[in-house]
A and B are shown apart, each in its own frame.
Chain A
Amino acid sequence: MQTAVAFSRVSRHFGAVRAVDEVDLAIAEGEFFAMLGPSGSGKTTCLRLIAGFEQPTSGHIEIFGETAEGVPPYRRNVNTVFQDYALFPHLSVADNVAYGPMIRGVPKAERLKAAEEALALVRLPGYGDRRPGQLSGGQRQRVALARALINKPKVLLLDEPLGALDLKLREQMQEELKALQRKLGITFVFVTHDQGEALSMADRVAVFNHGKIMQIGAPEEIYRAPRSRFVADFVGSSNVLPPDVTERLDGRRAWASLRPEAIRLVSEGGVEAMVTGHSYLGAATKLGVFLGEQRLTVLLPAGSPVPAQGQMVSIQWNPADLHVMEDEQ
């Protein structure tokens, strides 16, 4: 399999700010790749480096084996779905979708036919005559997707495409995007700050912080075996245990992570902890406990009895679930 996008020691500085700091990255062809991180972590800048809206301060970028530095966006066979969709308000939906072919000089009848096909692909057939202003957020998103896909790009970039949608629609679009990616076989690179979205959609996830990639791996790997405190905390808000606590519980002296859902309440034989409160999440209940000085979050399955505040409980987990991390950070 070919490498779709390769970064080697790529940096992008804005004045004194290192938005992207010596990043190495290889995205395989046909992969659904997520870049996950908090705002300002450099994930969007990485996406813009692939699209060509930004040029690296240093380092080397290759797209399908070809050097990308100095190549303007309009000469890259890469298309973007923008966060605000960036649909052209003065053009109809069909003309928006047919913009790429129009630029390439495809005759009108032919490109409008292609636009109708692209709209059918995103399940918006017959919407061509409307204006972007008449569409809902979810529909605009599909139009933006159709406008990018009509060009059959080598890589499709998606910048927080689901951020503006409500929960229900977002979940539906996640599935559709995933299905679409499998069907078309195009490499998708997807930027998000929502760890649930990244884990559920991507083949591989890169977790960004302060312009660097903290960890790259399959969603399961990232979730189960975070290599650093930041990843453990950011991906799924794990309990992060300092070395002294780990030593007391496990014997090893190192930072460790313990997933809230890996902890269970037992009647006896566990570790004693005091309940500080709970919040109801629907499918589960989040319980806050103090294990000595250490605050822990426990996720109780729905339906299980919730102990009252101040009550002492006994908690337990499989030793394998206490994951000791390699990195200090």
Chain B
Amino acid sequence: MSAGAHAILPGRGGLFGTLSDVLWRNPRLTLFLMLTPPLLWLGIIYLGSLFALLAQSFFSIDEFSGLIRYEWTFKTYAELLRPSNLDIILRTVSMAAAVTLASAVIAFPIAYYAARYARGKWKALFYLGAMLPLWSSYLVKVYAWKLILAKEGILTWIFAKLHLTPVLEAWLALPVIGGNSLSVSYTGTFIVFVYVWLPYMILPTQAALERVPESMLEASSDLGGSPAQTFRHVLLPLALPGIIAGSIFTFSLTLGDYIIPQIIGSSRLFIGQAVYAHQGTAGNIPLAAAFTVVPIVIMGFYLWMAKRQGAFNAL
């Protein structure tokens, strides 16, 4: 300890030194400076443009001139309820629900393994495996799947090699989900959707399972719960917030996608394609806007239901 040392060090001086002192004394100012740019972005550019779009849905289009009439009306929403449009909504929502359910079922064991057993390099490998598909181009993956699922594709070949061609044919002969080949059936669309969105389900589920202490599962077992009962009463409820978070991704991404159903599947429209068609070629911005309201309303309803069912009690 040197005799000349002061208990209080002198200020660093300079612009940055002074600035650090000022910011340290005024935490609120620091917070304000940090939050203003992102809030401006979120508030004006992000949410602002979304509301501008939603406002469009309350306008209508003049059927003769094709021009937008800027008067508040629910006419466009009435149009949404026409059988042909309702069909699109129903088709998209059913697909999104099926994709979400399948993703959750496939993701859970993977996430469970990663959260509970994988350590060190196996954990790194898990993250790599879950994220790798996200690194390559979405379009390349979808077109690759088109080749895999095509009538002359590798999947047909594998089924033939395994002498399972009749199974594939029987599946394709089913109404609605079948078709000429997998690449032009709803089954194909479903498979590619699940493939593309699976990482978005795995990661939040894994994060939720990671937070479930081992002792919680032991406690259930200790109190007489068989593995199935422990899953039903403890593991699933505690993982549910993560699964819900994942399902928000898979559900809303499926609701909004317009590329996959266009490349793989039957030629029937999904919401995304309808929005694309109405705001582009048809020039019917109000109807396109009304279509985009549908996923928002559905997601809002979904979250409200989930909360009511106690899905977020563990948070």
Residues of A within 8 A of B (CB): 51-53, 72-74, 78-80, 82-84, 86-91, 99-100, 102-104, 131, 147-148, 151
Contacts and interface: CB of A to CB of B under 8 A. Distances in A.
Contacts of A90: 237-238, 310, 313-314
B26 to A, nearest CB: 34
B215 interface: yes
12 contacts: A73-B222, A74-B225, A74-B229, A82-B215, A82-B218, A86-B213, A88-B219, A88-B220, A90-B237, A100-B224, A103-B223, A103-B224
Interface in B229-258: 229, 233-234, 237-238
B223 to A, nearest CB: 4
B119 to A, nearest CB: 14
Contact of A74 (B226, B310, B314): B226
B238 A84 contact: no
Given A88-B234, A89-B238, A80 B225 contact: no
Contacts of A83: 215
A140 to B, nearest CB: 13
A72 B229 CA distance: 14
Given A80-B218, A88-B238, 15 more contacts: A51-B222, A53-B218, A53-B222, A74-B221, A74-B222, A74-B229, A82-B219, A87-B219, A90-B237, A91-B313, A103-B224, A103-B229, A103-B233, A131-B313, A148-B222
A96 to B, nearest CB: 9
Contacts of A147: 223
Contacts of B216: 86, 88
B224 A104 contact: yes
4 tightest A-B CB contacts, nearest first: A86-B219, A86-B215, A90-B314, A100-B223
Contacts of B223: 74, 79, 99-100, 103, 147-148, 151
Interface of B: 213, 215-216, 218-226, 229, 233-234, 237-238, 310, 313-314
A86 B222 CA distance: 11
Nearest to B215: A86
Contacts of A72: 221
Contacts of B213: 84, 86
A151 B44 CA distance: 58
B221 A73 contact: yes
Contacts of A84: 213, 215
A147 B222 CA distance: 11
B229 A80 contact: no
Contact of A86 (B218, B224, B229): B218
Contacts of A104: 224
Contact of B222 (A79, A87, A89, A91): A79
Nearest to B211: A89
A80 to B, nearest CB: 5
Contacts of A73: 218, 221-222
Nearest to A99: B223
B310 to A, nearest CB: 7
Given A84-B213, A90-B310, A74 B219 contact: no
A29 to B, nearest CB: 20
A80 B222 contact: yes
Contacts of B222: 51-53, 73-74, 78-80, 148
Contacts of B219: 80, 82, 86-88
A104 B238 CA distance: 21
Contacts of A74: 221-226, 229
A104 B225 CA distance: 8
B230 to A, nearest CB: 8
Given A90-B238, A103-B229, A151 B224 contact: yes
**Best-buried of B213, B225, B310 by chain A (most CB within 10 Å):** B225
Contacts of B229: 74, 103
Contacts of A131: 313
B44 to A, nearest CB: 37
A75 to B, nearest CB: 8
Nearest to B230: A74
A91 B220 CA distance: 12
Contacts of A52: 221-222
